[in-house]
Amino acid sequence: PARACVSDFTEMMRALGYPRLISMENFHTPNFMLVSEVLLWLVRRYEPQTDIPPDVETEQDRVFFIKAVAQFMATKAHIKLNTKKLYQADGYAVRELLKVTSVLYSAMNTKGVERADVSEEDSSKFKFDLGSKIADLKAARQLASEITSKGVSLYDLLGKEVELREARTKSIARPLEINEAEKVMKIAIDCVLEQVQKTKDMLNNVALDEANLEAKIEKRKLELERSQKRLQTLQSVRPAFMDEYEKIEEQLQKQYSTYLERFRNLTYLEQLLEDHRRAEQEIFEEAANVLRLMQNRLKEEEQHLLKSGDNDDSDIEIQEDEGSDSEVEDRQMMKQRTATETLLRG
């Protein structure tokens, strides 16, 4: 099954246009670089504008890369991938890669080869042009809504123009009173003076706030310098627990390598156990069939012997006059023994 999966995977990758030639020999041993390259190519084939980092030099980078690819496939393509098998980068990882390649291969077959071979530059250019027009589209929608609201308000105001015209003509025809105009002017002057005083007060407060902020900035600068000096001293001093930390880190690396080895052995032994159980089940079914055949054969022989025994009894009754009762009994015992012996032999 593993060889069949690898062969299907290579054929699908060749059909999808993967530039590198993949063979079955590439997955006999763990090959994480090839698996990461294939995963990144499939993700970009599915969505060219992805931002998954391709760095897989360190162990943390590899774990982050596998998690990012699995999360992307689960959210975008609704494909669930086993991260442990992908990290193994062997024949089991090919089965997980086959899930993604089968989806892309079926999509290529349904939509046609011509549409699947569109260059990535054209698609990126189209997406770039579309993104540049999104802001204009939003502005146009906002202006259309504003035009609609302004038109409604203008229509309402024009409907009230008849009443407002009469009130306007009355107010214009009424003579202007000097006392009332003077009161209104005084009120307006007082309001303006009040606004000017508030503005002056705000300017004075701004000056005070600026002085306070400058003092706070100087204080923060001094604290920052002290913190930087303390940080430099702490960086220069080696902690007391650093040796123990390094030893524990080395032990962790050894434990992790042991865990990987045991995990691979466990998967291999589980496969062997499954094969062994399947073989035992087949042997058990064959044995059951053989026992059933033997039981049927024994029943047939037993019926045959019973029929032959009845015929012998009838011959004995015919020859009663020639012998005595003891001789007849001896003959019956001998025949029963021979019948049982033949049954046991059978």
Q: Can you give the pLDDT at residue 249?
A: 92
Rounded to the nearest 5 percent, the helix, strand and coil shares of the chain are 85, 0, 15
Q: Can you give the pLDDT at residue 135?
A: 75
- The pLDDT tens digits for 124-148 are 444 445 555 677 778 888 888 889 8
Q: Can you give the pLDDT at residue 327?
A: 54
Q: Domain residues of the chain, as ranges?
A: 1-109, 178-243
Q: Is the pLDDT of residue 343 over 60?
A: no
Mean model confidence pLDDT for the chain: 80
**Does 210 or 131 have the greater pLDDT score?**
210
- The pLDDT tens digits for 225-246 are 999 999 888 888 877 788 888 9
Separation between Cα atoms, residue 34 and residue 234, nearest integer Å: 43
Q: How far is CA 263 from CA 61, 71, 256, in A?
A: 21, 23, 10
Q: Checking phi first, is residue 239 left (phi over 0); if not, alpha (psi -120 to 50) or beta?
A: beta
* Average pLDDT estimate for 85-105: 82
For residue 175, what is the DSSP state?
Answer: P
Contact 101, 111 (CB under 8 A): no
Contact 264, 88 (CB under 8 A): yes
Q: pLDDT grade, residue 121 (50/70/90)?
A: very low
Contact 77, 103 (CB under 8 A): yes
Q: DSSP characters for 74-128?
A: IIII-----HHHHHHTSHHHHHHHHHHHHHHHHHHHHH-HHHHT--HHHHHHHHH
Q: Can you give the pLDDT at residue 336?
A: 53
Q: How many CA atoms lie within 13 A of 150 on its CB side?
A: 6
* Average pLDDT estimate for 114-119: 47
The share of the chain scoring above pLDDT 70, in percent, equals 80
**Does 201 or 121 have the greater pLDDT score?**
201
Helix (H, G, I), strand (E, B) or coil at 56: coil
Top CATH class, 1-109: mainly alpha
The share of the chain scoring above pLDDT 90, in percent, equals 24
Q: How far is CA 231 from CA 226, 235, 242, 304, in A?
A: 9, 6, 17, 104
Q: Can you give the pLDDT at residue 128?
A: 45
